[in-house]
Amino acid sequence: QKEVEQDPGPLSVPEGAIVSLNCTYSNSAFQYFMWYRQYSRKGPELLMYTYSSGNKEDGRFTAQVDKSSKYISLFIRDSQPSDSATYLCASSIYNQGGKLIFGQGTELSVKP
């Protein structure tokens, strides 16, 4: 079993829809939870960052961590065609110096 599991999709939604992207993890020692966005033929860019559990909101994006169920979520409100990308979740235990465990990535397409 992989430490971080993510449904690879692809996921296709109409413009304006609410998107829910999810990951599960197995290591209860994980403290850092991140979402990266990767456009086609580009490197991943850090989108959302959470330490420990709870919610974090940034504009149309909300990241949620439920440590009791080991579940990581990213919600995108009012999705736009420019949100079409692959979204990668990643986790780490404390003080790993950047040695993250990545999910497989979910490919999202937002249709106009």
Binding site for other proteins (CB under 8 A): 6, 8, 32, 34, 36, 41-46, 49, 51, 88, 90, 92, 96-100, 102-105
> Cβ of residue 14: shortest distance to other proteins, in angstroms?
26
> Cβ of residue 15: shortest distance to other proteins, in angstroms?
26
Q: C-alpha distances in angstroms, 80 versus 2, 8, 50, 107? A: 31, 20, 24, 14
79 versus 103: smaller Cβ distance to other proteins: 103
| Cα gap 9→62, rounded to integer Å | 20
β-strands 106-111, 4-6 pairing: unpaired
